[in-house]
Amino acid sequence: MSQPLLRALQGEVQAVPPLWFMRQAGRFLPEYRALRAKVTFEQLLYDSDLAAEVTLQPVRRFPQLDGAIIFSDILVILDALGCQVTIPEGGPRLGRTLDQIPLDQPLDERVFEPVQAAIRKVKAQLPPHVAMLGFAGAPWTLLAYGLEGKGSKTWSRAKAFLHAEPVKAMAWLDRLADAAARLLNLHIEAGAQAVQLFDTWAGELDPQDYAQFSLPSAHRALAQVTAAPTLFFARTGYLPQALETMPCQGLAVPWQVPMAEARQRFPRMALQGNLDPVSLLAGPEVATRKARQIVEVMKGHPHVFNLGHGLLPETNPDTLAAVIEVVKGK
């Protein structure tokens, strides 16, 4: 029998929802911080043994997890396009932005080889019930980073580019969609049993621009991934109804959107989410109460319990453990 997470993405309603957590592999765990103190982020990213170790850390600590998401970064695609990505303590930096790179720049797939190797190593060590997950950044989010050259509070350069150069913007979004699809398919070939496309900066666009630019390119990427179930995560305060026609099996719901609303509006999809990561900082009593409410709302519908965005570095692992116990009915 397949893993509970995969059964949920296949549309099966389960009495106990499977769970995993975005950013579970990384910065909130003491064992990760101990390892990170010895090596750079790039070493973790491009050393398959280290990436595999970081991916397995939460699975060892929380044996009831149903998914292991590979430790990597969405910006590996931009690195493979020649953007010369570095990730110092202050956040990512690009040596070259996309407007300095030709649209037909070949994708250097050698950049992806360490993460493929890490997936194979993790898959060989996972408990039978745990599904192996891969991921990629969605085209708009990649374009935003690729034009700004670093993180931003406004993404003004990238947003202005959509309107100043709409033809070129759409061409780049298509190019990035194809690159994201290629990476997801490589993850699947290496052993990933499901994959998630992250549109982290979806909420930076107004609904009209999101519908015109971001959704078509995300659709293009997901349509090319058919060998394993796919999840789509658009980090917005709203969910456009057009998501109903996205070629994916699961929709990750941001914490700002009530699960009851998502269930009513997207009945054909498995839904993932959507505990507010900040609720974990309020302690186990608050976090478990809110987790119970989500589980109750989602009874009778295919559901993967998760957060509505990634785990925060300040999260107490014991609070997360309490949430897992509640979701699993222990």
Catalytic status, residue 265: no
First to last CA, the chain: 23
Closest CA to 19 of 329, 324, 286: 324
Topology (CATH level 3) of domain 4-327: TIM Barrel (3.20.20)
In this prediction the pTM is: 0.96
Instruction: Give the confidence band of 89 by pLDDT, cuts at 50, 70, 90.
Output: confident
The domain segmentation of the chain, as residue ranges, is 4-327
Catalytic status, residue 175: no
Which one of 32, 46, 145, 210 is the catalytic residue? Answer: 145
Collapsing DSSP to helix, strand or coil, 67 comes out as strand
**What residue type is assigned to position 177 of the chain?**
A
Q: For tokens 């010895």, name the residue.
A: 38
Instruction: Give the confidence band of 1 by pLDDT, cuts at 50, 70, 90.
Output: very low
Cα angle for residues 294, 248, 15 (degrees, 5° grid): 35
Average pLDDT over the chain reads 96
For the four alpha carbons of 29, 69, 128 and 65, in that order, the dihedral sign comes to positive
Residue 243: pLDDT above 70? yes
Residue 205: pLDDT above 50? yes
Q: Which tokens belong to 107?
A: 């994708």
pLDDT > 90 fraction of the chain, expressed in percent and rounded: 96
Catalytic status, residue 36: yes
Catalytic status, residue 157: no
- The confidence score (pLDDT) of residue 156 equals 94
Catalytic status, residue 145: yes
List pLDDT tens digits, range 106-133: 999 999 999 999 999 999 999 999 999 9
